Amino acid sequence: DTGVSQDPRHKITKRGQNVTFRCDPISEHNRLYWYRQTLGQGPEFLTYFQNEAQLEKSRLLSDRFSAERPKGSFSTLEIQRTEQGDSAMYLCASSLDRLGNTIYFGEGSWLTVV
């Protein structure tokens, strides 16, 4: 495994349903980030973990969103009671904990709420 992998790549769900996305970072990376990207916009920060600790959360991350990284390896992002405004691409990224170190992105998980 040479990159960040995300699953599923695409998800269509009905409004009100819960969805969960999984991210597997590059194996030696201790930092893991979640971003959201809508069409025509740059990625917006949601949250990040250093090992298993969630160190920062954006105001964008409402109480319907929860992220975990239980063993400091893979992470999940769950959205409860989805709304149409949640439709976006959810990007996971990982890096080493070092200023100036590169952040590597996964291919993203596209969510469409109908």
Look at strands 109-113 and 44-50 and give their pairing.
unpaired
How many residues form the binding site for other proteins (CB under 8 A)?
Answer: 23
| Binding of residue 12 to other proteins (CB under 8 A) | no
Closest CA to 26 of 75, 70, 68: 75
Give SS3 for 60: coil
Q: List the interface residues with other proteins, window 60-99 (CB under 8 A).
A: 91, 93, 99
The sign of the CA dihedral 98, 57, 15, 75 is: positive
Complex with other proteins: residue 14 or 98, whichever CB lies closer: 98
Euclidean distance between CA atoms 110 and 88, whole angstroms: 6
Residue 25 or 43 with smaller CB distance to other proteins: 43
Closest C-alpha to 75, from 49, 55, 101, 102: 49
Among 13, 29, 30, 45, binds other proteins (CB under 8 A): 45
- Residue from the set 21, 48, 49, 65 that interacts with other proteins by CB under 8 A: 48
Rounded to the nearest whole angstrom, what is the least distance from the CB of residue 27 to other proteins in the complex?
18
Q: Which residues bind other proteins (CB under 8 A)?
A: 4, 33, 35, 40-45, 48, 55-56, 91, 93, 99-100, 102-108
